[in-house]
Structure 1
Amino acid sequence: MDPVFIAIQLLNGLQYGLLLFLIASGLTLIFGIMGIINLAHGAMYMIGAYLAYDLTLRTGSFWLALLLAVPIAVVLGLVIERLFLGTLYRRDHLYQVLLTFGLILVLNEAQRIIWGSDVQSVPVPASLSGNIALTGNLQYPVYRLFVAAICLLVAGGIYWIIRHTRLGIVIRAGAVNRDMVEGLGIDVRTLFTLIFSVGVGLAAFAGMLSAPMTSLYPGMGDNILITCFVIVVIGGIGSIKGAFLGSLLIGQAATFGPVLLPALASVIIYLIMAAVLIIKPRGLFA
């Protein structure tokens, strides 16, 4: 196999895996700390992509669209948590599944009402529309490298907050024993609102970054939600480190799978999950 082709596939897998991490990190925080099975997380990814599309059209600038869209997504997460999820923390997971599945239907229908059912696209920003020459005939898009760099910066920021700040201590303690954290006088309700809002913001931000690289269509977040649940299970529920390594693993598997094992391309990520769970039933870093 051509070494240059392998290098391109490795770059594609890295970029895709880092983008998956933005979504999976929010999902694992919400699931691991709040105990909420948020099936609507993929819909937040879709909403982020459409916000980038809409605001880019209105402002004429993709960068300004990002600055406006991220706060909108965080506020959307805050509203959803306060209005719908607050009464479900002590209830069975079935209630959470039913509610968040209902949110998928609501958000998908809202997308169709606001933006229609046609496939849309967002142009790559002019400043990042170039390519880097790998060989005389092969080039790699600058925007994909930019996305990978931004995702790495966000991953580093999340790790620093979780490991080296007081908020991170509270979040880690909440993942282990929520009742004890509440008994220490910490406002767990506000903490949950913050975590859910940030989780939604991360998923939406991933959608915004991916908008210039993919087509926008109704329900585009459904498949990526399944992939991110696989990542959360592989990495261990509530583990940011596990979500990061799981995302990189699945990113490479999803990139190389169709090339090396085309017959298993549609199930390879599930085979990896099964193999990990056989060895470590609670995930890599539970």
Structure 2
Amino acid sequence: MTAALFAEQALNGLQFGLMLFLLAAGLTLVFGIMDMINLAHGSLYMVGAYLTAAATQASGSFLAGLGAGIVGTAAFGMALEVAVLRRLYQRDHLSQVLGTFAILLMCNEAVRMVWGSQPLMLNLPAAVAGPVTLTPGFVYPAFRLVIIGVGIAVALALYLLITRTRVGMQVRAGASNREMAQAMGGNVRWLFTLVFGAGAALCALAGGLLGPLLAVQVGMGESILILAFVVVVIGGIGSVRGALVGALLVGLVDTVGRTAVPWALGGLLGPAAASGAGPAIASILIYVLMAGVLFWRPEGLFPARG
């Protein structure tokens, strides 16, 4: 494996990890504050991608489409929380899983009815469609660098919001001890709606940014939802810092492992064995990582109730 290839895969892992963080940050806050398992979280990612693609096609501007997708998905998420999810807060986790899974299925069918079954095209913005030369002989797609920059900026903004503002103090209090936060006068119902809307907006941002790289299609949220739950478990339920660290670990392990494992097996066992076993082993690395973290720290790396 050359140094250029390793650097490229490391940047890809960083980009993928930061997008997972956008998904996992909202999911871990919903799980940590509301004590609710939300399987419909991936549907918000899908809805955000579709709204961004549709608004971009209508306006001709990717930035306008992304803004419309974020606002529309945040409004949809808050309406969903007020109309449906509030009735699930006091239910057990099995009821929450069944209820939010039903919402996931209904969102898939609603998207299919509105936009059809064929993938929706979302083209790269012309300004960042080409590669950028980072070092002599090493080029990297400009749009992926934009995604990395946006992910870092959002992570920094969330850190400042949660650690330096009154709303952030209420979020941290709710994640650590919801009952005590309510007893001290916190408006928990308003906080729940705000957190859910913020999580939906982050999902839409991730869906809109990944839309030009991945297919905008029905059911696109299910596979990435599994990875988001892995990130939450690794980082610690209710911890945004844990979500960031867990997402970066998962992104780097998954991306670099898919290149490094076949390369290492090729040197040890030969190309034939590497082509067969390499991808299979690489695909389970993130679950091995999760098992290792849970073995040493069952509550995750940075649990909110630690």
TM-score (norm 1): 0.97
1:271 corresponds in structure 2 to 288
Alpha-carbon distance in 2 for matches of 1:121, 1:138: 29
Match of residue 183 from structure 1: 183
* Contact 1:4-1:134 within 8 A present in 2 as well: no
Given residue 269 of structure 1, which amino acid in structure 2 is its aligned partner? I
Shift of 1:182: 1.2
Q: Tell me the equivalent position of 1:65.
A: 65
Deviates more, 1:271-280 or 1:87-96: 87-96
Task: Indicate conservation of the 8 Å contact 2:49/2:69, yes or no.
Answer: no
Give 1:116's aligned residue.
116
**Ranges in structure 1 where 5+ consecutive residues have no aligned partner:** none
Deviations 1:228-283 (A, max 9, x none): 10000000000111100100000011101221222312211111000100010110
> Is 1:35 the equivalent of 2:30?
no
Task: Tell me if structure 2 keeps the 8 A contact 1:121–1:214.
Answer: no
Alignment correspondent of 1:18 = 18
Name the structure 1 match of 2:300.
Answer: 283
In 2, Cα distance between equivalents of 1:175 and 1:30: 9
- Give, in angstroms, the shift of residue 137 of structure 1: 5.9
SS in 2 for 1:87: helix
CA–CA separation in structure 1 for the residues paired with 2:174 and 2:75: 23
Letter in structure 1 aligned against 2:64: L
Q: Offset of 1:71 from its aligned partner?
A: 1.1
Give the distance between the partners of 1:258 and 1:233, measured in 2 at CA. Answer: 22
CA distance in 1, matches of 2:138, 2:120: 28
Aligned-pair identity (%): 48
| 1:55-100 Cα shifts (integer Å, max 9, x gaps) | 1111111111112121111110111000111122122111111110
Which of structures 1 and 2 has the bigger CA Rg?
2
Distance 1:135 1:164 in 2: 38
TM-score (norm 2): 0.91
Residue 13 of structure 2 aligns to which amino acid in structure 1? G
How far, CA to CA, are the matches of 1:148 and 1:208 in structure 2?
14
Please state if 1:87 is matched with 2:87: yes
Report the equivalent of 2:193. Answer: 193
* Runs (5+) with no aligned partner, structure 2: 262-277
Distance 2:119 2:69 in 1: 20
Q: Give 1:166 shift.
A: 0.9
Q: Following the alignment from structure 1 to structure 2, what is the Cα–Cα distance between the partners of residues 63 and 127?
A: 11
Determine if the alignment matches structure 1 residue 204 to structure 2 residue 211.
no
SS at match of 1:86: helix
How far did residue 50 of structure 1 move?
0.9
Rounded Cα–Cα distance in structure 2 between residues aligned with 1:135 and 1:149: 18
Tell me by how many angstroms 1:136 deviates. 6.4
Residue number in structure 2 paired with 1:132? 132
Distance 1:274 1:51 in 2: 36
Equivalent residue, structure 2, for 1:156: 156
Q: RMSD of aligned C-alpha atoms?
A: 1.2
Spell out the pairing of 1:181-260 with structure 2 (5 A cutoff). Answer: 181-260=181-260
Q: Kindly state the Cα deviation for residue 17 of structure 1 after the two structures are TM-superposed.
A: 0.4
